[in-house]
Amino acid sequence: MAAIDCGTNSIRLLVADASPDGSLRDVHREMRIVRLGQGVDASGVLAPEALERTRVALADYTAVLRRKGVERVRMVATSATRDAANRDDFFGMVRDTLGVDAEVISGDEEAALSFVGAVGDLDAEDGPFVVVDVGGGSTELVVGALVDGSAQVSAARSVDVGSVRITERCLHGDPPTADEVAEARTVAAGILDEAFAAVDVTGVRTWVGVAGTITTLSAVALGLDEYDPAAVHLSRLTGDDLHRVADELLGASREERGRYGAIHPGRIDVIGGGALIVEVLAAELRERAGITELVVSEHDILDGIARSIL
């Protein structure tokens, strides 16, 4: 089986085999930065060059699926396509390239799939959990627990703030000015208030962060010379760690951020904005739930999508 997640910043592929006990065994994982959501926040449309970058990546993924003999595929598309006036151009491209239709899932379903993928390697006794996915265009919060080996989601919300959106809206300098950073914090906190109003985190014991923004921050905090999924998976970051990394990245120029071997080139210009959002989340979770540590998971919505077609 195969899962494809097409977000605002990246498109990712997971090919997996299902074990008799229902667990997944990775056959192939891959990520490309295609920036599908380039300029969507301002223009309301998907840029032709962004659609072409996505088509090229999807054509390569389709070749992988054929080589691996994949029989079941589910592709989901999230924030950028939900907001675009020319979304039919995207759907037609996917159908012509992949041979199946992409699904534009709701923010709440996106959050639930992220939760299912994220908590599989964790101890049920560490729950309830709040799983957070900071994407390029949106941020998802979902609260739930593991009960008899199954994920049970109690609340979920997606809001339109992500690393690409906050960078394009507020962080224009290189590096951003103090006023730009202050404005970005205010904007992010205001939008995230909507998520916390819908998702009660009272009583939550463990904060789990998933997807590229948060895993990249972990790699930077760990001082990795190059990205290492094994080192990142289930790593733990304190609020002080997150504050230090956010200040470091927001205070650096694009050229300086480009010297970090652990940051994918496609994230260099937006990782500061992503770090700022995670720092705001850390402050809110400390205030609302007394949580002072982030657990970073390499498993996320891709794993949830794959499990949905078992």
Tell me the pLDDT tens digit for each residue of 116-130: 888 877 888 998 999
At 21 the pLDDT is 66
**What's the chain's length in residues?**
310
In this predicted model, which residue has the larger pLDDT, 60 or 105?
Answer: 60
Q: Mean pLDDT over residues 109-119, rounded?
A: 82
Dihedral through CA 192, CA 84, CA 307, CA 118, nearest 10?
-20
What's the topology of domain 121-301?
Nucleotidyltransferase; domain 5 (3.30.420)
2-104 and 121-301, same CATH topology: yes
Q: Mean pLDDT over residues 94-110, rounded?
A: 88
Tell me which DSSP letter residue 177 carries: P
Q: What band does 308 get if pLDDT is binned at 50, 70 and 90? A: confident
At 79 the pLDDT is 63
- Give the residue from 187, 179, 143, 137 showing the smallest Cα distance to 162: 137
Which residues are paired to 4 by β-bridges? 13, 75
At 207 the pLDDT is 97
Residue 216 φ then ψ, to 5°: -65, -40
Residue 89 φ then ψ, to 5°: -60, -40
At 3 the pLDDT is 96
Number of other residues whose CB lies within 10 A of the CB of residue 70: 16
- Residues 166/198, Cβ–Cβ less than 8 Å: no
Tell me the pLDDT tens digit for each residue of 127-174: 899 999 998 888 989 999 988 767 788 999 989 899 999 999 999 999
What's the topology of domain 2-104?
Nucleotidyltransferase; domain 5 (3.30.420)
Q: What band does 293 get if pLDDT is binned at 50, 70 and 90? A: very high
Q: Mean pLDDT over residues 239-246, rounded?
A: 93
DSSP assignment of 14-48 equals: EEEEE-TTS-EEEEEEEEEE--TTTTHHHHSS--H
Tell me the C-alpha distance between 175 and 252, whole Å. 6
Tell me the C-alpha distance between 227 and 233, whole Å. 11
List Cβ neighbours of 19 (8 Å cut-off, separation of 6 or more): 25
In this predicted model, which residue has the larger pLDDT, 180 or 148?
Answer: 180
Tell me the pLDDT tens digit for each residue of 247-257: 999 999 999 99
Cis check for the bond before 265: say yes or no (omega within 30 of 0): no
Tell me the C-alpha distance between 93 and 177, whole Å. 39
Angle at which helices 178-198 and 271-289 cross, to 10°: 50
Domain ranges of the chain: 2-104, 121-301
Q: Is the pLDDT of residue 83 over 80?
A: no
- Give the residue from 196, 195, 166 showing the smallest Cα distance to 183: 166
% residues pLDDT > 70 (the chain): 98
% residues pLDDT > 90 (the chain): 68
Tell me the pLDDT tens digit for each residue of 27-82: 999 989 898 988 887 888 999 999 999 999 999 999 999 999 998 999 998 767 87
Amino acid sitting at position 206: T
At 210 the pLDDT is 92
At 23 the pLDDT is 72
Tell me the pLDDT tens digit for each residue of 213-238: 999 999 999 999 999 999 999 999 99
At 35 the pLDDT is 87
At 192 the pLDDT is 96
Q: Mean pLDDT over residues 99-106, rounded?
A: 89
Residue 79 φ then ψ, to 5°: -55, -50
Q: Is the pLDDT of residue 22 over 90?
A: no
The torsion region of residue 20 among left (phi > 0), alpha (psi -120 to 50) and beta comes to: alpha
Tell me the C-alpha distance between 256 and 268, whole Å. 9
At 116 the pLDDT is 83
Q: Mean pLDDT over residues 92-114, rounded?
A: 87
The mean pLDDT of the chain is 91
DSSP assignment of 131-165 equals: EEEE-SS-EEEEEEEEETTEEEEEEEEEES--HHH
| Residue labelled with tokens 């223009």 | 43
Q: Mean pLDDT over residues 86-102, rounded?
A: 94
Query: If DSSP states are collapsed to H, E and C, what string results for 203-252?
Result: CCCEEEEEHHHHHHHHHHHCCCCCCCHHHHCCCEEEHHHHHHHHHHHHCC
